[in-house]
A and B are shown apart, each in its own frame.
Chain A
Amino acid sequence: MESSDKKKKGGLSRRDFINSSIRFSVILGIGAIGGKLLTRTQVRQMVWQLDTSKCIQCGRCATNCVKTPSAVKCVHVYSMCGYCDLCGGYFRPEVKELTTAAENQLCPTSAIRRTFVEDPYFQFDIDRDLCNGCGKCVKGCGAFGNGSLQLQVCHDLCDNCNECAIARDCPADAFSRVPSDNPYLFSGYDSKKKG
């Protein structure tokens, strides 16, 4: 191959011929692989989401996301909420007084807002700008309440990394790629209703 540069055969040197052959076999190979994968491709893109039924609220969502604060936030599913006065997601265990004082709150960033609805019910809202996705409230709500507080990847914040940094460190293997037209996995979520 080395000494064949100058040998012309009908205007095409041997090296050119070899190069072209390699070139077209590579293109054929890529075409074959691409074609094979294309048959499996859903044209929709995939996004990362965590399965709330596997989540153990270890707190790594808050620390391992490439974004600070994390793109994983607590989502409040109001339709599942019991509107409890003594909310297991809002108050620390063994809380003395049911007030909004900081020392009573479970949330380290005070991201949950408690507002009075009617006796004896309270509404709890998540301030997404403050929530860091640590999941303490989720654990509390799951243990003592209805489980209406759930951790989810918020897709307006998520960068949709090729390999999710939380997914590879999630101890419960709760993260997976899901189709982007049905991007949430929390209980009580209905993709058709959301449109």
Chain B
Amino acid sequence: MKKAAAYIILILLISFQLYNVFAVQRFPKPEFESGYVQPSTLAPNPRAEALAILDVVVLLVTLSVATWMIIKKRSRDGVFWISIFTIAYFGFFREGCICSVGSVQNITYALFNPNYSIPISAILFFAVPIIFTLFFGRTFCAAVCPLGAIQDVFVFRPVALKSWVLKVLGLIPFIYLGLAILYAATATDFVICRYDPFVGFFRLNASFMMFMLGAVLLLLGVFIARPYCRFLCPYGVLLNLASRVSRKHLTITPAKCIQCKLCEDSCPFGAIDKPVQIKEKEESSKAVRRIILLTVIIPLLVLVGGYVGSRFHENLASVNHDVRLAQELLHPDKTQPESFEVTAFKSAGKSVEEFYKETASIVDMFYIGGWILGGFIGLIFGLTLTSLSIFKYQEDYTPNKGTCLSCARCIDFCPVKPEL
């Protein structure tokens, strides 16, 4: 009788485990006689979803307060204290995730991979700062971005860089953005997150390379203010473009500029446009020639860029996990022991031909991506060239709406009192 019961229990146990292909019930669970109570398996729940909503609320509140401080209150101190709060909350408390800079990749990844269910907070972290920037300038960069805020407190001895250096280094973020989108779209990697320089500080825990990258940028930032924001940040590219058409923007003076030159060197980022002498009017034939030249050069640069990009598509694709594995399977290195990737692939039992076919389609995606990325970089080069050759008349000292990070430092230098 007891034996029969044991068999029934055994059958029940086995049938219960049947859906489990992985489990091999080699040794059936014993029947304890000593009244032993089996402990339950520990499976702690993740951070509550409500807290993700809290992140969005904090973003909205800090962004609103920062915007108010910059546009209405015109207070550098206010901006500074918001930076400190941002470093504390988005930085050390939330440990640098989620951030708007990385959300670009989530959006791209979601657009290209229908299976990925993007969290609503990622959409909002991407969209809200851009919308704020469209109306008020880069107030997000000023104090709400934790990456910007931690660099901002390190701006001690800023030196002015030559404008051509600014222009050339200013091209890097576009290339970085293009690469990040390419790799996110092909589901290869989130490069912005991988090379996030300050997340190691926020987590108080980082690999040596990551820590060095962050430390170098922070120390460099003592002299070259906010190097990541100005010469690397891919999200800053989008905000830069959005800010150029912003409805309102931080102004140096609350009323009319008296051209006292006090603010001239106040900007650590070199983002103040200085008044220019009225030049003699350019001969129209010269201007026409320049326009013709540019209309030839820009499409040429796009084509050349696209061609070069497509030539390098295999190099770009070799970052991809599957492409690397396919290469390893095609050309096994006999001197090395078999890699974990190959072992895992063999144990998964997928057919090699099918896998090669999948990989080939990834490489094809990189070919198209290489054309687009190269063309995009060529276009940016061309447009930068255009902007350099355009003469812009400027009467007063005004912040450059694109590159100004709205940190409000210049406000304290202006002696003009607001008109009542």
Contact = CB atoms under 8 A, between A and B. Distances in A.
A162 B193 contact: yes
Contacts of B135: 23
B164 interface: no
Contacts of A186: 41
The A interface is mostly helix, strand or loop, or mixed, namely: loop
B327 interface: no
Interface in B118-160: 118-123, 127, 130-131, 134-135
Interface in B247-264: 247
A188 B27 contact: no
A152 B45 CA distance: 13
B23 A163 contact: no
Interface stretch (A33-41, A95-103, A104-112): A33-41
Contacts of B26: 82, 144-146
Nearest to A183: B46
B171 interface: no
Given A79-B38, A83-B30, A160 B131 contact: no
Contacts of A188: 17, 20, 23, 41
B418 interface: no
Contact of B118 (A40, A117, A159): A40
A47 B29 CA distance: 32
Contact of B341 (A78, A159, A168, A171): A171
A7 to B, nearest CB: 14
B24 A84 contact: no
A165 B41 CA distance: 26
A35 to B, nearest CB: 9
Nearest to A59: B340
A129 interface: no
A106 B17 CA distance: 27
A104 B400 CA distance: 69
A54 interface: yes
B348 A54 contact: yes
A162 B343 contact: no
Given A45-B49, A56-B343, A76 B41 contact: yes
The B interface is mostly helix, strand or loop, or mixed, namely: loop
B190 interface: yes
B117 A41 contact: yes
B336 interface: no
Interface residues of A, number: 77
A45 B121 CA distance: 8
Contacts of A82: 25-30
Interface string A161-195: 11101001001110001011001101111000010
B340 A58 contact: yes
B362 to A, nearest CB: 14
B114 interface: yes
A147 B392 CA distance: 72
B163 interface: no
Contacts of B38: 78-79
Interface residues of B, number: 76
A40 B127 contact: no
A194 B120 contact: no
Contacts of B344: 54, 56, 58, 171-173
B23 A187 contact: yes
Given A53-B21, A145-B26, A155-B45, A38 B340 contact: no
Interface string A25-49: 0110010011011101111111100
A125 B39 contact: yes
Given A82-B27, A155-B45, A41 B189 contact: no
A125 B24 CA distance: 20
Contacts of A146: 23-27
Contacts of B340: 56, 58, 60, 171-172
B390 to A, nearest CB: 6
B44 A159 contact: no
Contact of A162 (B17, B39, B97, B110): B97
Given A146-B23, A163-B194, A184-B43, A46 B119 contact: yes
A80 B17 contact: yes
A118 interface: yes
Nearest to B184: A163
Contact of A84 (B23, B27, B102, B131): B27
30 contacts: A2-B390, A26-B134, A27-B131, A27-B134, A36-B111, A37-B107, A41-B118, A54-B348, A56-B340, A58-B344, A66-B199, A76-B41, A82-B27, A117-B34, A118-B32, A118-B33, A125-B39, A128-B42, A146-B23, A155-B46, A159-B97, A160-B46, A162-B106, A162-B193, A163-B105, A168-B194, A168-B321, A171-B340, A184-B43, A187-B23
Closest 5 CB pairs of A and B: A82-B27, A163-B190, A172-B344, A171-B340, A155-B46
Given A45-B119, A160-B46, A177-B116, 16 more contacts: A19-B247, A37-B107, A38-B120, A43-B120, A58-B343, A75-B43, A78-B41, A79-B38, A80-B29, A82-B27, A121-B32, A145-B26, A146-B24, A147-B24, A156-B46, A162-B97
